[in-house]
Amino acid sequence: MSGDRDRLTLLVYCQLGLWGYFLFGFGPVVPILRDELDISNTVAGLHATMISAGSITASSLYPRLARGLGRGLTARVGMAGLAAGVAILCSWDLLAVTLTGTFIAGGFGSLLVTGSAVILRERHEDKAPAAITEANAVAAAFGLIAPALIGIAAALQFGWRPVLLGVVVLAVALAFTLGREPVPDGVAPDRGTQGKLPRKYWGAWLVVAMVIGVEAAMTVWSSDLLRDSAGMGNGGAAAGVSVLLAGMLTGRLLGPRFASRRPAGVLLAALFLAGGGFIVFWTAGTPVQGLTGLALMGLGMSLHYPLAVTAAIEAGDGHPDLAAGRAALGVGVAAATVPLLMGAMSDAAGIQAAFTLVPILLAVAVTSLIVSGRRPAEVATLDD
């Protein structure tokens, strides 16, 4: 391992892994919760909305928290709050409790995600895109485990709660290993948390929001389409989401080297690959076709967020905390509205019709990328 992957970098990687375990694990739990609580798709979609509402709240506060508490303490508070939110979520089979837990987990977890990009950018400078991509690969790796475990637990009738409570165990383990690693606050942090973002920033911001909308749609509702259209059972459909995450993990492990020469072209190609994979997935009548489509989508989606958020922070012109906070706000808005809208569309016209929203989001992302003319930062690998 390169010396660039120091203890601070590993800490951030593991913190994002913790978030990935919860976020991707909770996606296939939503349809199961719907059945357990006997609620509609629209109401079930409120869980994803509450995660995003917490994220929106936290992202609006992040620049001030980073300035007042420092990035390191803010991240530690986020890790503790994420664990507390998951514990509440799993504590009682009651809608008000599950919604409260998801709100808390989403808010505090967002502090981890928002801070990670800024910390890695400060630490690795020109190699930051590679570090951010690797960090998201770790998140995908942890996220790959959770749906598989939930699918196994559902098939064996163990329930999903013990699997999600793994977040608490992982948080405690991380606190006792890397949790005390000092986190620098960067140069002139005041400039990074105040000021006005330039106009060019908002084109990159829109790309971030759109690709997160796609990611939210796929992680929350793809298992439902696997059940309804591809004929898979609850356990198999929940575990099937792991195929999407496996594709994302593969892409994020291989992506930095491919993206180092033509990052804008790679991001554009990744958007089109996700679109092609979506067609395969959306028209699936068998489990094999459905899972193949998910794998292709995962490969395409893998570089969307890392390259888009890196471009957004770079476009912030010396305001990294503010740029990251506003990007996280866009993430929260997209992740809040898309699953809820799809739930309502599913109740009205079926889950397959609801998924027509995904190609619209991809088209907006492609258009914004082309029109804005903002190129994602070049990606140097950490081994260079």
- 356-379: pLDDT as tens digits: 999 999 999 999 888 876 444 444
Cβ-count burial 5-32 (b if 16+ within 10 Å, e if not): eeebbbbbbbbbbbbbbbbbbbbbbbbb
Quickly count: other Cβ atoms within 10 Å of residue 258's Cβ. Answer: 16
The pTM for the full model equals 0.72
* Residue 6 reports pLDDT greater than 90: no
pLDDT of residue 291: 93
Quickly count: other Cβ atoms within 10 Å of residue 126's Cβ. Answer: 12
Average pLDDT taken over every residue of the chain: 83
* Confidence band, pLDDT 50/70/90 cuts, at residue 186: low
pLDDT of residue 179: 60
pLDDT of residue 2: 45
pLDDT of residue 43: 86
Spatial distance between the Cα atoms of 102 and 104, rounded to a whole number of angstroms: 5
Per-residue pLDDT tens over the stretch 334-346: 887 888 889 889 8
Per-residue pLDDT tens over the stretch 104-147: 999 999 888 888 877 887 777 666 777 787 888 888 888 878 88
- Are 107 and 54 in contact by the 8 Å Cβ rule? The answer is yes
Contacts of 307 (CB under 8 A, 6+ apart): 129, 133, 259, 263, 266, 267, 270, 376, 377, 379
pLDDT of residue 4: 67
Domains in the chain, CATH or no CATH each: 7-372 (1.20.1250.20)
